């Protein structure tokens, strides 16, 4: 029986009908000759025009050629098939096809949903060896959320940061993406490691351009302004002269200026190199034993703390009701200094999450001075939450010593030993990371 005449439509959704018609080539009215080999793929004008403004213009608009055979030489057969499957029934299984080629086709034919699907797929593929090429794709195709995910992956641990900048993928990065990596304040390796990886990148670039990769002048020329993303002034003088200065990439004048800045003999602000240290995101827990329950009646949970070194507070760890189902709290936060001044105000807003704990992240970093007393003030309304028990009054984290104290502002019972607020989201200045 002719498949086009049987009752194949019964019980199928619109997308299932589209899939059936494409798979069985029912009533196709346009033929594409794709790729260098001009392999034929038959399709339906209605579907193509309903899903892509470019195909609409190609088939019926100003670009139409009054023919039912269209040559597409710059998209290969396997890529075009993936594109068709997405247009017809939104299948986003890319198989062995190069995702970059699919992204290029999605951009050419103005299919933003396919671009987004590629971004979602690439997010699942982020790893030490792949993150660099994924960053390139994210930048090229304006996938900003994917680009942020890549940077978050790179800075999540010291080991990962180090492996990424020492990877083959890093050597293949474009200048713009290298600049983005070098400018990450949270890159978790010390500055001499960053510099050495940049030199290897420059040597690789020299080879690609037919230059002498061992010539200091060629390397310096290739580096260009990337060299001014290295934070030489934060190095020790010994490290600078043992690990950096001997390679002659820096001029004698620059070496002298950097050396004088390191030992405090000149103004670091006169140098073209960044002066601030990189930082590290750290979650500092005062306790991790969570138990039921903490009664939230719109009262204030508050806790005082001090730390022996300056840092930034970027948010708080709070406790939810522990359910797997979503819960919602209305939360307001203040950080108050010893002069009873608000140094940060997180205005009341609703937060929905699930699980035992959740994080709130401030819109800006809150500077915390060394050996100064601060109060964390929280007004939290919603279902009863878990509580943290058996907390430590003193916590050491990477040479930062935190001390916690009871606050007179607390009206809901949180204390040094129990209650809400199991942890702080901190940003530590980096000083002694290993290479």
Residue 248 domain-assigned (yes or no): yes
How many domains, in total, are found in the chain?
Answer: 3
329, 399: one domain: yes
Secondary structure (3-state) at 367: strand
Q: Which of 65, 100, 123 is a domain's end point?
A: 123
Sequence-distant (≥ 6) Cβ neighbours of residue 378 within 8 angstroms? 300, 301, 302, 316, 318, 331, 332, 333, 414, 420, 421
Sequence-distant (≥ 6) Cβ neighbours of residue 334 within 8 angstroms? 342, 344, 345, 346, 375, 376, 377
Domain coverage including residue 106: 14-123
Q: Is the dihedral of CA 205, 207, 211, 214 positive or negative?
A: positive
Q: Which of 277, 298, 333 is a domain's end point?
A: 277
248, 289: one domain: no
Model pTM greater than 0.85? no
Are 194 and 230 within 8 A, CB to CB?
yes
Secondary structure (3-state) at 90: coil
211, 258: one domain: yes
The residue to which tokens 């100003």 are assigned: 62
Give the per-residue pLDDT at 331: 95
107, 213: one domain: no
pLDDT in tens, 54-66: 999 888 887 667 7
* Rounded Cα distance, 34 and 48, in Å: 15
pLDDT in tens, 98-153: 999 999 999 999 999 999 999 999 999 999 999 999 999 999 999 999 999 999 89
Give the per-residue pLDDT at 389: 95
Report the b/e string of 62-99 with b at 16+ CB within 10 A: eeeeeeeebebeebbbbbbbbbbbbbbbeeeebeebeb
309, 423: one domain: yes
254, 353: one domain: no
Helices (H), 24-98: 45-51, 53-60, 77-89
Pairing of strands 394-397, 30-34: unpaired
Helices (H), 183-288: 191-208, 216-223, 237-239, 252-262
Give the per-residue pLDDT at 3: 59
CB count in 10 Å sphere of residue 45? 16
CA dist 187 to 12, 36, 357, 433, Å? 51, 44, 26, 10
């Amino acid at each position: 029986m002719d498949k086009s005449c049987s009752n194949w439509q019964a019980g199928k959704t619109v997308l299932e009908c589209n899939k059936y018609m494409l798979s069985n080539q029912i009533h196709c009215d346009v033929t594409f000759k794709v790729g260098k080999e001009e392999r034929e793929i038959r399709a339906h004008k209605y579907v193509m025009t309903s899903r892509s403004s470019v195909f609409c213009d190609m088939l019926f608009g100003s670009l139409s050629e009054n023919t039912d055979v269209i040559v597409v030489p710059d998209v290969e057969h396997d890529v075009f098939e993936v594109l068709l499957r997405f247009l017809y029934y939104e299948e986003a299984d890319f198989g062995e096809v190069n995702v970059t080629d699919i992204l290029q086709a999605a951009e050419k034919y103005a299919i933003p949903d396919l671009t987004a699907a590629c971004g979602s797929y690439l997010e699942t593929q982020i790893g030490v060896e792949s993150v660099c090429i994924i960053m390139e794709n994210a930048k090229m195709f304006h996938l900003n959320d994917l680009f942020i995910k890549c940077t978050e992956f790179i800075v999540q641990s010291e080991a990962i940061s180090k492996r990424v900048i020492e990877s083959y993928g890093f050597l293949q990065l474009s200048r713009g993406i290298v600049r983005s990596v070098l400018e990450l304040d949270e890159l978790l390796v010390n500055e001499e490691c960053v510099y050495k990886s940049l030199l290897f990148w420059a040597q690789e670039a020299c080879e690609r351009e037919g230059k002498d990769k061992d010539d200091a002048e060629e390397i310096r020329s290739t580096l260009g302004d990337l060299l001014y993303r290295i934070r030489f002034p934060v190095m020790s003088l010994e490290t600078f002269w043992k690990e950096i200065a001997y390679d002659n990439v820096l001029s004698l004048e620059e070496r002298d200026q950097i050396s004088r800045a390191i030992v405090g003999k000149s103004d670091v602000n006169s140098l073209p190199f960044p002066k601030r240290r990189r930082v590290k995101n750290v979650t500092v827990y005062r306790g991790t034993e969570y138990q039921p329950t903490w009664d939230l009646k719109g009262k204030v949970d508050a806790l005082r703390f001090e730390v022996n070194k300056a840092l930034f507070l970027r948010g708080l760890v709070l406790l939810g009701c522990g359910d797997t189902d979503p819960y919602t709290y209305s939360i307001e936060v203040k950080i108050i200094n010893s002069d009873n001044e608000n140094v940060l105000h997180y205005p009341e807003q609703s937060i929905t999450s699930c699980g035992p704990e959740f994080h709130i992240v401030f819109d800006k970093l809150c500077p915390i001075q060394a050996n100064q007393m601060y109060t964390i003030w929280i007004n939290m309304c919603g279902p009863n939450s878990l509580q943290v028990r058996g907390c430590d009054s003193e916590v050491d984290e990477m040479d930062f010593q935190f001390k916690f104290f009871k606050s007179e502002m607390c009206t809901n019972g949180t204390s040094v030993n129990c209650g809400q607020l199991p942890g702080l989201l901190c940003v530590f200045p980096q000083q002694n990371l290993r290479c």
